Structure 1
Amino acid sequence: MGSSPQLGSVVPDFTLPGGVLTEDSFERRDYKLAEARGRALVLAFYPGDNTTVCTKQLCAYSSGMETFEALDAEVWGISPQGVDSHESFARAHGLRMPLLADPGRETARAFGVAAPGIGVRRAVFLIDAEGVLRWKHVALLGATFQSLDTLSDQLSGIKNT
């Protein structure tokens, strides 16, 4: 596992393929971190599509999209599965945030969350509108996840600084 970006530092740019479910279509494109500037961004790394805890986590974040929108924040989910798997996962659970594919785990390594055996540690990084890391949580076991309330409290704090 590599080292994670430090709080207060600009997060390294990356580009990953992904897609987002909008009504009945799954719109595929490349997602570039640099293009997200101007809004806060929640990067939610998760071990796998259609696993119990990951499904609960992403469903909670998806059902809270209005909360994130009110805080002028986007949410991106990132895991090692491919875009086809992400489309199936998004359709099965009505997930409304972009799901990005990191099959080689290069981005997970850049964020210090690649892990032998499990692939990717469950982690959340909050990045401000200028691309600076303001808050992070990297789970050791990943049996639980950061709640919508915790993330909205942290985002509110970022917005008010």
Structure 2
Amino acid sequence: MELKVGDKIPNFKAKDTDGNDFDSQNLVGHKPLVIYFYPKDNTPGCTAQACSFRDQYEDFKDLGAEVIGISSDSVASHQKFASHYKLPFVLLSDGDKKIRKLFGVPSYVFGLIPGRVTYVADKEGKIIMIFDSIKAGNHIPKALEAVKNSIFLK
């Protein structure tokens, strides 16, 4: 089942970049969230997307938001990726694709390529924007605009 605007971010657990247990309940409903699903560490589009989120991370933090990247890569892969590109935000390992399925993230090219979808939730944990585009660079400005709107419209 695919999540829609207005739905609440579901509870999920995963291993973070450091191999620690991450529980969404610690953030959902406490601050705005930008949760982005991407296909694979160290590929051109995914690297560009992660670096763009990195470069604008302080803008998200200044608005009280947290950025979380999710792919099916291993914790070790995420550690290398985050270290090499100095990524300041959490990457979660979704090796069994349970989180991807929970959100209803589609796949591209006959199911061969995991989808690239960004979800923005307001402080209450309600989804206010879903952006589905293979074009990695388009996600960051859309997410930042949605976070700004969620704060200034309340």
Same fold (TM over 0.5): yes
Task: Tell me the residue number matched to 1:15.
Answer: 13
Hey, which of these two has a bigger chunk of helix by percent? Answer: 2
Hey, which of these two has a bigger chunk of strand by percent? Answer: 1
User: Which of the numbers 83, 96, 103 marks the counterpart of 1:91?
Assistant: 83
Looking at structure 2, the residues matched to 138 and 72 of structure 1 have their Cα atoms a distance apart, in angstroms, of 23
Q: Which structure 2 residue ranges, 5 or more long, are not aligned?
A: none
Looking at structure 2, the residues matched to 103 and 125 of structure 1 have their Cα atoms a distance apart, in angstroms, of 20
In the TM superposition, residue 28 of structure 1 has moved relative to its aligned partner by: 3.2
Q: Which secondary structure state, in structure 2, belongs to the residue aligned with residue 28 of structure 1?
A: coil
Aligned residue-pair number: 149
Task: Tell me the residue number matched to 1:117.
Answer: 112
TM-score (structure 1 length as normaliser): 0.87
Letter in 1 for 2:26: E
Structure 1 runs (4+) deviating above 4 angstroms are none
TM-score (structure 2 length as normaliser): 0.90
Letter in 2 for 1:126: V
In the TM superposition, residue 114 of structure 1 has moved relative to its aligned partner by: 4.5
In the TM superposition, residue 143 of structure 1 has moved relative to its aligned partner by: 3.6
Task: Tell me the residue number matched to 2:126.
Answer: 132
**Contact map agreement 1:59 1:95 (CA 8 A) in 2:** yes
Are the structure 2 counterparts of residues 16 and 114 from structure 1 closer, same or farther at C-alpha, using a change threshold of 3 Å?
farther
Moved more, 83-92 or 146-155: 146-155
Task: Tell me the residue number matched to 2:48.
Answer: 56
**Contact map agreement 1:105 1:114 (CA 8 A) in 2:** no
In the TM superposition, residue 154 of structure 1 has moved relative to its aligned partner by: 1.0
Q: Once the two structures are aligned, what percentage of the paired residues are identical?
A: 28
- The superposition leaves residues 14-58 of structure 1 with CA deviations (integer Å, 9 ceiling, x where unpaired) of 001112xxxxxxx43121111103110100100000000000000
In the TM superposition, residue 10 of structure 1 has moved relative to its aligned partner by: 1.2
- The superposition leaves residues 51-88 of structure 1 with CA deviations (integer Å, 9 ceiling, x where unpaired) of 00000000010111110011100000000001000001
In the TM superposition, residue 147 of structure 1 has moved relative to its aligned partner by: 4.2
- How well do the aligned residues superpose, as a CA RMSD in angstroms? 1.4
Looking at structure 1, the residues matched to 97 and 47 of structure 2 have their Cα atoms a distance apart, in angstroms, of 20
Whether 2:151 is the aligned partner of 1:159: answer: yes
